[in-house]
Structure 1
Amino acid sequence: MFDNLLAFWRGKDFLKGVLQEFEKMLTDTEDMFRRVCSQMLESKADGELKEEIYRIDKEVNRLEKDIRTRIVAHLSIQGNVDLPASLVLMSVVKDAERLGDYAKN
């Protein structure tokens, strides 16, 4: 079982999983932005939409923390092999989280 866990952290499955979560973050923040812009153009307040935006933002925040934690764990096992790509991924994940904050505010 330990060998399977190491293979997961070292293999393409790790990167595939992280990229899928990152794609979900981007999709969620795009959805937030579109919905907020639509509401602003209609000039009407919608309390239900506000609650939904805050819920999505919390999910985006959770994904950001999860992805960054997984990258750090991956680097601790894998070593410096993926360091540049991992640092770039950590940066763009933080940027995607910030997009969600902008849409929320």
Structure 2
Amino acid sequence: MFRQLYSALTSENSIDQAYADLTRMLEHGAWMFSRANEVLYSTVAAEEVREPLYERDRAVNELERSIRRKVLRHLTVNPGHDVAICLALMSVAKDAERIGDYCKNVFEVGAFYSEGFHVPRYQQPLDEMADRLTGLFKELIAATRDSNEEKAHGVISATREIRGSCDDLIEALLGEEETIEFHEAVAYSLLARHYKR
């Protein structure tokens, strides 16, 4: 009984706590993205990164569940209050949880493909995307932490451009007339798909 009363009294902070959890999810995602790309570029061994990366992914999954619990607690104590915000928060948390999965996918390309990248017309745009995404993580974390809509819209706009570049790269690969090693073409296309997401 006391626990339920305490939970009800502190539920006003549940949404603030859920936003803090979302920020932590994004921070974990940024860390995972950086480590995955270090493995991809062979600056760090895959075995050195594997367990910490998967550990962070488990933390991201737990934070997503924590957000869901906090939002449901808030709505239970305050029925009909902030419903749209709560639903949006749960949706964004689900998207943030997927970031961990895509980071693991980038890591796996780096872990499984070790032949190197030799076609600048594909590698250079992917390098630029990775750099841009690293910066966008920082911007997104700041926008989330500060509830800054203008920054958030800037990130959304930038990711649309990246998605278009990924589609262009995949289309170019599918129409490639010169000889590219099959495994290298697969690596490029996988990276383009993962960066797009």
TM-score range normalised by the length of the shorter chain: 0.7 to 0.9
Equivalent residue letter for 2:10: F
Aligned-pair CA distance for 1:70:
1.6
Q: Which residue of 2 aligns with 1:5?
A: 7
Counterpart of 1:53 in structure 2 is 53
Consecutive unaligned residues in structure 2, runs of 5 or more: 106-197
Q: Aligned letter for 1:5?
A: S
Q: What does residue range 2-41 of structure 1 map to in structure 2 within 5 Å?
A: 4-9=6-11, 11=12, 13-41=13-41
Match of 1:91 in 2: 91
Where 1:5 maps in the other structure, the secondary structure is: helix
CA distance in 1, matches of 2:50, 2:74: 36
Aligned: 1:73 with 2:73: yes
1:65-93 deviation digits (Å, cap 9, x = unpaired): 11112211221221111100000000000
Q: Is the 8 A contact 2:15 2:71 kept in 1?
A: no
Stretch moving more, 38-47 or 86-95: 38-47
- In structure 2, what is the Cα distance between the partners aligned to 1:6 and 1:44? 47
The answer to whether the 8 A contact 2:14-2:73 is kept is no
Distance in 2, matches of 1:68 and 1:31, equals 23
What amino acid is the match of 1:56? Answer: R
Q: Tell me, which stretches of 5 or more residues in structure 1 are unaligned?
A: none
Q: Number of residue pairs matched? A: 103
Question: Are 2:15 and 2:70, in contact at CA under 8 Å, matched by a contact in 1?
Answer: no
Identity %: 33
Higher-Rg member (1/2)? 2
Which structure has greater helix proportion? 1
TM-score scaled by length of structure 2? 0.49
* Ranges of 4+ aligned residues in structure 1 off by more than 6 Å: none
**Structure with greater contact order relative to length (CA < 8 Å, sep ≥ 6):** 1
